[in-house]
Structure 1
């Protein structure tokens, strides 16, 4: 069953702290993801002729970065990879609260990264002041998904229904690619679930 995208109130300003580790870096190809332009779950269609303003925003994961989506209009702002990490961190902090931890990892294959973890399992990866990747980890209250409703905890059938998926064995486990999204399944079985999900340049031990 698809999980709703996480709700957020208005963005607050906040200077960034950066964080955490995991390590050998994976660079995500630039291929587009399927269904990332579909209206988010929970968006309300306005009645004809009504002037509708957004009350809240939804946060969605994307193969191109992160997306902020109006809860009523469905208008979308993409925080793309290559954006200033301060801007992205402010947006994420306004949604999830203060980061849990932040630190430098100098052992990533693509070079040093600043890695910051927020509640709900979201981790942002930055280098040279730029947002370069995100990863999502298992958390009991995690609710972050793509616009297609796919996130950590989604089933393989939900993944297959939303994207063209390639599944393969790697040193990380049962790995998959779905356009610009990558992740780990709990097993090769049809009833497997997504245990980890990432996009962009991250730092994974292989």
Structure 2
């Protein structure tokens, strides 16, 4: 029986190699479930689902305190240093169906380094993969999480100024997803200090979608 005072949100992480994807997943979970370290090649080779501990009194819904649990699917970097694009897409598609086929996906997080903005005339490969796997509704279920956002501060820019000066490719993507973006600051912030603002923003986006989910067959 479903507990009305408990909410589970399902997230999937996408991004390029060394974008900070697995590290961001660990921050969202509040744990170290995903293997994350600096490497000149892709670290993640398989899709991995992890669950957070229950967060009590984190949010209210209908006047009631809701216990929150987050499920996060980490995916291999795309393009990958040792796996073909076709193989990665097949792995991710299978994982989405297996883990979220019935319960659905609340949000896909595109992990993007703030110091390496999207450039070029066409959508990047990892954006194209999201479009292919999520289908025509991808715009409604995608947000960008900018890692290394402390480098924006070091450059003397605010988040708004960073967006205003972003390349056209990034601005086009942000316009497509209704400017749903999150900035992750690492320097000087504890794990929990990074986690709470990110979770609050994620919940804002999910609420904007009226808690709807994207299912997979």
Normalization by structure 2: what TM-score?
0.28
- Decide which structure has greater helix share: 2
- Decide which structure has greater strand share: 1
The higher-RCO structure (CA 8 Å, 6+ apart) is: 1
Normalization by structure 1: what TM-score?
0.28
